[in-house]
Structure formats: C-alpha cells, structure tokens
Structure 1
Amino acid sequence: MISDFPYGKAPFWILVAAILSGLVVWGASYLQTHEEPDLIFATFAQNHYEVYREVIPEFEKKHGVRVQLQLVSIRALQSRLQSALLAGTDVPDLVELVNPSMGYFTQGPLEDVGFIDLTDRIFAEGLDQRMVWERFSIWSSRERIFAIPHDVHPMGLVYRRDIVESLGIDVDAIETWDDFLEAAHIITRDLTGNGVIDRYALDLPSDGNWALRGLLMQQDIQMFDQQGRLTFNQPATIDTIIWYLRASRGPDRISFPAGWGQTFSRAFNDGLVVFVFTPDWRTRQYQMDLPGLHGKLAFMPLPAWEPGGRRTSVWGGTGLAITRQTARPELAWELAKFLYLDVETAGAFFLQSNIVPPFKEAWEEPEFDEPNPYYSNQRLGRILVDLARQAPPEYVTAYTELTHSKFSEVFLNAALHFDRRGETGLREYIQEELDKAQAYLERIMARNVFLFEPAQ
C-alpha cells in the first residue's frame, strides 16, 4: 500500500500521523461532550445563557464537576417540566422560571411541589437580608420559598428628553401623578390644527393590563396577600381604575396605546408618545431597537400617588429553582449561589442587560455608576438601584393568571360604561364588577383544599 502512494513514504506517514492525531482529538472531544454531566441547568433567556456559558467553566474548575447548560423555550419550561415532575421522568437539576409560573407549580399540596423548599437555606445564609426580600414573594407559596430571585425589575418612566425640555417642563418638579397630569396637558397637543391629537404624554394600553396592575402595586394593592387570599377589591382600586379611564379615554385623555414591536418603535421615535412605563429590562430594548433616539431619552422614577410615596413598581421576574429529583442538591445550591450571588458577574451582567440584581452587595460594583450615553449620560444603574430599594412585593398563586383575566374583565366593562355614560354611576358600577369577580374567584379557589393549608 505504501509503495502505491503517489507521493512517497515520508508524505504517507505524515498523512497517517495527521489522521491518527485527528482521531485522538475527536475521541477526546466526543467523550468530554457525551460524558454524564454532574448537573443540568436549563434557562429560557438567551442573554442569561450567554453570561452563564462564560462563567460556569470557573465553577466547574473550582468543584471538579461538569455542568450542562441548556437553552429551552418558556413553554417547555412550564408545561413539559410540570408534566415531567408529576410523572417522575428526567428533568434538569436547576431551572430558571418566569413570573408568574411558580403558581402553576404550587397548586397542590406543598409536599408535592417539584422543587426543593429553599426557605431554611435562605434564612440560614442571611439571604433574606442580603437580597431584596420583596422579590421572594413571586417564588413563594404558603410562606415557603421555592426559588431565588434573579432580578428586581424596578419600573420608572423613560421619556423624550428633547421634547420635554423644548416645552420647558422640569421633570424634577414632577413628584406626584397630579404633577404629571399638569405636565401631560401641556404635552398632549394637536400640532397640525386638523382636530387630531399628534402628541400624547403617556403610553397606556387600552385594556389596562400590566400598566394598571403596576400602578396598583405601586400603592401596595395586590391581587393576593401573602396567604393567597384575594385583596384587589378595595376603594383605592376603584380610584385607580377611574384615574386610568380618564387618562386613556374620552376628550381629555393624555395617553395613546402605542403597542409593541414596530408599532411602538414608530410611535416613540416619532414623538406620538413622550413618556413610557419602563422596567429595567425594557431600557435595554430601547437601546437595541431605537438607535436614532441615542442621547434623546432620559429616565425618571414613577410619580408617587401622594407626596413622599413610593416612586416605583415592578414588572416581570425570573427565578432559579432546584428540582427535587436532583441527585446533587448541595452542588446545585452552590451553583445557584455562584450564579446569583457573585458581585462581579452581577456587574458584568448589568452592563449587558441593564437588569438590577436583588443581591444588595452587587449594587456597590462600579458598573452601576457608569454614565449611560444613550440615556443622556445619566447614571442609569444608580437610579435603578435606588428604586430597587422601594420595590413592592408581588404575591403569586395558582390562580394568578385567572385573576388577571377576571380583573381585565372588570376594567373592560368599566371602560364600556365610561364610553357610554361617562362617570355617571361609574364608581358604583366598578364596585359591582369587583364584587362579581371576587365572588367568582372565591368559588373557584374554594375547590382547592390545599390552597390555605398551614405551612409546616
């Protein structure tokens, strides 16, 4: 065979050596890739996945283990994971979940929850003090904690600084929503004289949705309390709905539903809306999707409902849970802390995402004080951290999504009443709708004998 090789013996043996070396490298790579991992960690967020892929090798080296990182869809993490947990089939050791999915996993007895109860670990390591305590609320059920929070997601208003300053409006003087309404009536205008409003002060969805719930949470009005009991039916809820209807409908409206995606981008870019409700994660979206507004935007806290009141709310959330099926619970807990409690990782992640971590020690990292040129050189991180200290809790149950749906019905029915009759009988009508929604939900919830079982 060697004699038949056209280029001689030396090139032949060089070729053989190259092939053998390639096989050795491939074999080592194959074994490394296909060896059984010590932990499997699944996340749904691409930006989280990219950060974890960079830092997990350090954890692997420190502990002499291998971690398999998986990027999966949110739908798979919720529906398929719950089915797998119930069936006892293979599941990841750790999973990142999106709010409000914890209610989906905790609708039965506490002992049947497919995640490890982290409550005692959290208190033993002082994480109830070292992290923003309010953020544990969305990962809890019946006063037991089943995940640790990844973020705070404080909400403020991003606004067109160029437009606001051209109108002589001082945003520092806007401390309450009453102050905001005064400025809003200056901003909202028919600029062409054709009878059609060309510029609105605020982006508000016409169905209430997340914006209305955020305004309620700002006032400590929750759908549920810590024990999972309904709490939305109160006079302040009616006041807030009426405020929202006035702002979003009728001849004196000061808002426009800008929507999402390209529709929103065009509305904000063209100045159709000037102020936009914005949690930390959404600030990064503007930077990516609206490069033409670089240097024209700024961020401010939400106006308070009364002088000295809370200047923020929250919107969204991610948490990390450890499944009960893991064979390495202590190692999984160490990985969770490595990813969520490392200050340097938190600082680097903030620069990539603008997301504020709930781990307070990370807030002293220099990244949170860097000026952001996109937001007119504001120290966006420091502003968001100051708001994170005021973050309200958000209690989640197995009935959160159903409650959101029924509450939306209340709002939409109130909107129809407002469109047809104005404010005549409006307050009484909203009260009737709230009463009906509460009665319906209480009937449904009463069927779940586990919901109000005492925590052990």
Structure 2
Amino acid sequence: MRTKLACATLMLALGSGPVFAQSGEITIWSWNIAASSLKATVAGFNKQFPDVKVTVEDLGNQQTFDKTLAGCAAGGAGLPDILSIENHESEIFWSQFPDCFVDLTTLGYTDEIAAKFPDFKRTELEVDGKRYAMPWDSGPVAMFYRRDYYEKAGIDPVTIKTWDDFIAAGKKIQEANPGVTMTQADINGDAEFFRMIANEQGCGYYSSDSQSITINQPGCVTALEKVKALKDAGELIAGTWDEKIQANKAGTVATQMYGGWYEGTIRSTSPDLAGKWGVYLMPSATADGPRAANLGGSSLAITSASENKEAAWAYLNYTLGTNEGQVTMLKEFGLVPSLLSALDDPYVKAEQPYWGGQKVWVDILSTLPKVKPSRGTPFFQDADKIMVAVQLKHLNGEYADAKAALDDAANQIAGATGLPIAE
C-alpha cells in the first residue's frame, strides 16, 4: 500500500511541473533586445528557483528561425529547451513539425492561465486543442511623434482621428518644419504600413480560419489606398529600420508608426531627445472607426528535445505569466506585455519622463483588448513577399487602383499556396 501511495505521489509531482523544476539547466534561443529582455528576468526567476541555471543565447532573428527549422527537421537534434518564435511565423513550425514542440497543457498551461492573454495573441499559438507556445510580447500599434514639430505647426494630435486628418496635419507640419518628413515606411522591402492599417480595418492576408485568401477584401483595399495617398502627398518616404533610427536621431521625421515595442528603440537610441517625443492612437479610415492594430510580437515554446521540461515551464510561467516578469522586460527594454493584468501594474500607470511625463503605457496597452486577431498561417512568407512587390508597383502607378493591385496579389498568392480566394 505504501509503495502504491509513493508511486502515486511521484506521478502527481511529475504532473505538477514546478515540484521538479528546482534544479538543472535550461537554454533559450532568442535575438537582440528580446534576448536581453529574457536575461533581465533571470534574477527574479532565480529568487524562486535558485538552483535552475538559465542561459540565453542571442543568435539573431534569422539564424534563430533557420536553426529552429533545421533542428526540427533533424528530429530535434541540437535544439535548446526554449525557443523564441515570432507569432506570424509560428504556424510554419506547428504545421511542419508539430512533434518538435511540447503541448504546454501537459506541463500546466491551463485555461485559467491562457485567459490572461488577449485572443489575438493566442490565435496562432493554439492548434487543434494544443497549446504550442505561450504569448510573450505584443506590438499594439501607436503613433510616436515629435511634440515640438507638431506644436510648431499648431497641430494637436488629439484632433487627428482619420488618415485624412493625418495627411492634412502632415502638410502643415512639413511646411512649418523645413527638411522634416511626416513619416517613413520600408515600402521597398516590407509591407509593414499596409499590414498595420489592414489589421486595424479587420483584414489580413488570410481568413481567420486560415482556409482562404482575403487580401483583396474591402479592409485591405482601404489600407492600400491610405498608403498610396500618403506617398502621393509626399508625406511617406522609404526608410529601412536603420534609416528610421537615423532620421529619429537627426530630427528629420515627425512621426513613426510602429508596434509599442518601438518605445524602447526610440528611448535607447535617442536619449538626448527626452521630452520631445509623445504618443497617440493610430488614425482610422473614419472618425468613429477602429484605432487598434498589432505589429510584431513573439512567443516562447518548449522543445520536445528538452531534458528539463519542468524547469523550462517554470521559467515560461514566471517570465510571461506574471506581472513581475513581463514588467521587468518592459522597464528595461520596452518589450510590451501581452499579459492583460500588466495594465494594473504601477509602472504601467506611471508618467514616463522620457515621454514628457505622458503615461504612454496606459495609452498603448489600453488598445490590446481591441486588436483583431490576424492569422499568419503556414503561408505568411509567401503572401508577404508577393505583397511587397505588388505594393511597390502600385505606389509607382502600375495598377488602375488598389483593388486591381490586391486582386493581382490574391491571384499570385493562390498560385503559390493552392488556397482559394474568399468571395
């Protein structure tokens, strides 16, 4: 009887996870600021689990993706315990290598924990009842603007509610500040601006069930129309990631639209401009239209090859599932929490000196519950490459209108993926 009881107790302990997460080593692959953010949480984690050694390896974004694909293709060989995976690329992994990752429900990722995150962050991480990854950071879109340039032109950002308002304001701002451009986007190599506005308008490359192509639906048409209107008005110029940072530092741009994580980029790369930057909500197509979208954001997954899954789960649950873990990354590196309870954290509610005393995190994070889910699907990269080329052709006047451009994109995506175009 005692033997049976001991066995039962052991099985219960194994199922509970953290009981056996008190020791050992875990390794994580990540990139850049994301990797630095994970390192910042280790001290707090080790207060609870002092005998777990956590090693974060910064491989760079592309190498993390490539090595994860190669490792999964090799049956898990060489993979770490935990992987950083971008949400919009995640379904590439779940569809091709579902056995490469642990279903986190087996380690303690309950419905109660999952409910702490907004639906749009979980959409791509949960497939057929399995939870392959836990939401990490998100990218609620915001307009980062130069207060001094707007003030010199007599523009109050509160009055900018539509994209037409934004264009009208841009004309005045550029006139009042010679040499300054209203905004930038990597229109030669990315569809970021289009995707942000499309998500705001409830449209994406694919349908919510990932079974059809929706890139030529009305919301996406509106998005491409707005991008071209900005370009034609001379208020949107091309800029790569590095070129935007240089423009910020040189003071040659008035506004940058990006995911909330860009707060940390501006603050860390332009420290001498403290007090000159502010934040406001992204404009919409109409005065009473939606003003929330998401760009970017990642998740953490545990590999099936991990030899210390319980410790890995304990780390995920602390880093991503607690205000302490998430807000540590926000404070240090501006990674925006997906955890909804972080909205109540004192730091989030506080005035931020760099941003002129504005409570920027209240403004940015308050949009999280309003963001509409958008599926990346296993075919995100196919669609995105096509969209970048089509967008550039449209901006150069090679299509009759935005609808014609997106009809062409839809047909090309159908040819590349075999998926039907939604009616």
- What does 1:125-140 align with in structure 2 at a 5 Å threshold? 125-140=111-126
CA distance in 2, matches of 1:128, 1:56: 20
The answer to whether residue 84 in structure 2 is matched with residue 96 in structure 1 is yes
Shift of 1:266: 4.1
- Partner residue, 1:13: none
The answer to whether residue 132 in structure 2 is matched with residue 154 in structure 1 is no
- What does 1:2-401 align with in structure 2 at a 5 Å threshold? 37-44=24-31, 45-61=34-50, 65-73=51-59, 74-88=61-75, 89-108=77-96, 112-118=98-104, 124-141=110-127, 144-189=130-175, 198-207=179-188, 209-229=191-211, 230-249=213-232, 252-261=233-242, 263-401=243-381
Query: Which of 361-370 and 98-107 deviates more?
Result: 98-107
Shift of 1:387: 1.8
| Matching residue's letter, 2:408 | E
Shift of 1:216: 0.7
CA distance in 1, matches of 2:245, 2:29: 32
- Are residues 140 and 403 of structure 1, via their aligned partners in 2, closer, same or farther at CA, if it must alter by over 3 Å? farther
CA distance in 2, matches of 1:396, 1:119: 23
Shift of 1:331: 4.0
- Are residues 69 and 253 of structure 1, via their aligned partners in 2, closer, same or farther at CA, if it must alter by over 3 Å? same
| Deviations 1:408-430 (CA, angstroms, capped at 9, x unpaired) | 12212222335xxxx8x335632
CA distance in 2, matches of 1:257, 1:431: 21
- What does 1:417-428 align with in structure 2 at a 5 Å threshold? 417=397, 425-427=400-402
Shift of 1:432: 4.3
Aligned partner of residue 104 in structure 1, secondary structure: helix
Shift of 1:120: 7.6
Shift of 1:217: 0.8
CA distance in 1, matches of 2:101, 2:322: 23
CA distance in 2, matches of 1:380, 1:286: 13
> How many aligned positions are there?
392
CA distance in 2, matches of 1:268, 1:42: 30
Aligned partner of residue 101 in structure 1, secondary structure: helix
Percentage of identical aligned residues: 18
- What does 1:407-446 align with in structure 2 at a 5 Å threshold? 407-417=387-397, 425-427=400-402, 429-443=404-418
Aligned partner of residue 395 in structure 1, secondary structure: coil
- Are residues 83 and 260 of structure 1, via their aligned partners in 2, closer, same or farther at CA, if it must alter by over 3 Å? closer
CA distance in 1, matches of 2:57, 2:406: 45
Aligned partner of residue 188 in structure 1, secondary structure: helix
Aligned partner of residue 389 in structure 1, secondary structure: helix
CA distance in 2, matches of 1:373, 1:223: 39
CA distance in 1, matches of 2:41, 2:274: 29
Shift of 1:47: 1.8
- Are residues 332 and 377 of structure 1, via their aligned partners in 2, closer, same or farther at CA, if it must alter by over 3 Å? same
| Matching residue's letter, 2:67 | R
Shift of 1:191: 6.5
- Partner residue, 1:14: none
Confirm or deny: 8 A CA contact 1:142 1:226 kept in the other structure: no
Confirm or deny: 8 A CA contact 2:186 2:239 kept in the other structure: yes
- Partner residue, 2:3: none
Aligned partner of residue 137 in structure 2, secondary structure: coil
TM-score (norm: length of structure 1): 0.78
CA distance in 2, matches of 1:367, 1:53: 20
| Matching residue's letter, 1:199 | V
| Larger RCO of the pair (alpha carbons < 8 Å, separation 6+) | 2
Could you list the runs of 5+ residues in structure 1 that have no partner in the other structure? 1-35, 193-197, 447-456
Shift of 1:385: 1.7
| Matching residue's letter, 2:193 | A
CA distance in 1, matches of 2:248, 2:79: 43
| Matching residue's letter, 1:212 | F
